Amino acid sequence: MAVTSEPGSAGASSTVEPGAAEHAAEHPGADPGAVGSWLAERLDDPRWRASTLSPIGAGRSNLTYRVQSEAGAVVLRRPPVGEVAATAHDMGRERRVITALAGTPVPVPRVLAWSDGGPPVDAPCFVMELVEGVVPLGELPPGWATTEAERGRAATALITTLAQLHAVDPAAVGLADFGRPDGFMARQVRRWSTNWEMARSAGLDFDDATIADLTRLAESLAADVPTSQRDTIVHGDYRIDNCLFDRADPGRVTAVLDWEMSTLGDPMADLGLMLVYWHQAVETPAWEAASYIATPTALPGFPTRAEVVEAYAASTGLDMAPLPWYVAFGAFKLAVVLAGILARVRAGMVPASMAAGLEGSAAPLVTLGLHVLTEGLA
């Protein structure tokens, strides 16, 4: 499976190639003719004019396309189609952080071109180089990480890369003003509480118990926000399938993807959310019920959540005592994110297929958050 190249700069009018209307219907938000003409100008190569586009990933958040031509292949990123929260889908921020991290131990694609709006997609976008690699989804690709040792090395690479991200000095890479670390987690609780109200106002049906439990979880989180131990660059959605791994060497991450929620803040938020995504072979009922996002981490060779925590703590020196709060916040945030996806589907902003498997996901995630606050990570 191949992924990731990043996009580029504002510009002149595009010439639509024959058949573009049909392609535009197949790929909402990206017209191959317009993209090809724009790339031909931006990359100074007319071969880009005859480009094809193919979607990468589920497209539940920012939209990603592989752009292919005789000149090669790159990756295009743009926000979702329709009205969205600008802070959650800021192409300029995503492009900026990827550019800043080039040359650090954190592997990222190289940005090739960008647009702040207008052509080629009538929205901010950027194009990046295509980085070849494997995205570990629910089922691993045949022949990749076939042994327990290889899967263990993949997990080690994932954890090490997160620790390396959290070790980068934001000021040293030009990101001193990339966010406001003071009060970060308190603002996050407020932000996702507001997003929850927006999802409800979109007409989604939630039972009274789910609404009451989510309100109780939000209030509990707001009442006991931990003091941040360190201010770092935060990815915002760090998980195994937001990383590319070397096809020949599962123990090497070739690129970290999907930086749309990145900012400066508390690194424990990244760890907490990653643990919500992390499934184990043996789960307690609260964790089992909340396992809505497919992941390969329950396969033999992947560490348990406790082992992930131990490895991250050893790499960063951070105190893991307040971790249950961050995991509970991760469950709360994911519940609201998935509710937002369902709301966009309900509004007709994205295809119904993007909600596949997500119906009913809020209640178990909220239950998990409340469970972790009172019982810890067990």
pLDDT digits (tens, 9 = 90+) for 208-236: 999 999 999 999 999 999 999 999 999 99
11 pLDDT more than 50: no
Run of H or E including 308:
helix 305-316
Cα–Cα distance for residue pair 236/62, rounded to 1 Å: 14
State mean pLDDT over 309-338.
Answer: 97
**Mode of pairing for the β-strands spanning 243-245 and 253-256:** antiparallel
Higher-pLDDT residue of 347, 92: 92
Q: What is the pLDDT of residue 198?
A: 87
Taking a C-beta distance cutoff of 8 angstroms, is the pair 111, 91 a contact? no
Q: What is the pLDDT of residue 193?
A: 96
Burial class (CB in 10 A: 0-12, 13-18, 19+), 203: exposed
137 pLDDT more than 60: yes
Tens digit of pLDDT for each residue in 348-357? 776 777 778 8
**Mode of pairing for the β-strands spanning 125-129 and 111-115:** antiparallel
pTM confidence score:
0.88
State mean pLDDT over 337-356.
Answer: 80
162 pLDDT more than 70: yes
State mean pLDDT over 91-110.
Answer: 96
Tens digit of pLDDT for each residue in 271-285? 999 999 999 999 999
Compute the C-alpha angle 247/249/251, nearest 5°.
Answer: 120
Position 58 confidence tier, pLDDT thresholds 50, 70, 90: low
Instruction: Please name the residue that has the structure tokens 């209030």.
Output: 219
Q: What is the pLDDT of residue 80?
A: 80
Tell me what the pLDDT averaged over the chain comes to.
88
15 pLDDT more than 50: no
Q: What percent of the chain has pLDDT over 90?
A: 75
Q: Determine which of 4-8, 142-146, 188-192, 373-377 has the lowest per-residue pLDDT on average.
A: 4-8
- In the chain the domains, ranked by start, together with CATH numbers, are 2-132 (3.30.200.20), 148-375 (3.90.1200.10)
State mean pLDDT over 298-327.
Answer: 98
Would you state the torsion angle of the CA atoms of residues 257, 286, 334, 132, taken in this order, to the nearest 10 degrees?
10
State mean pLDDT over 63-72.
Answer: 95
Q: What is the pLDDT of residue 23?
A: 37
Cα–Cα distance for residue pair 66/53, rounded to 1 Å: 6
88 pLDDT more than 90: no
16 pLDDT more than 70: no
State mean pLDDT over 307-336.
Answer: 98
Q: Residue 232: name the closest of 261, 211, 199, 262 by CA.
A: 262
Position 63 confidence tier, pLDDT thresholds 50, 70, 90: confident
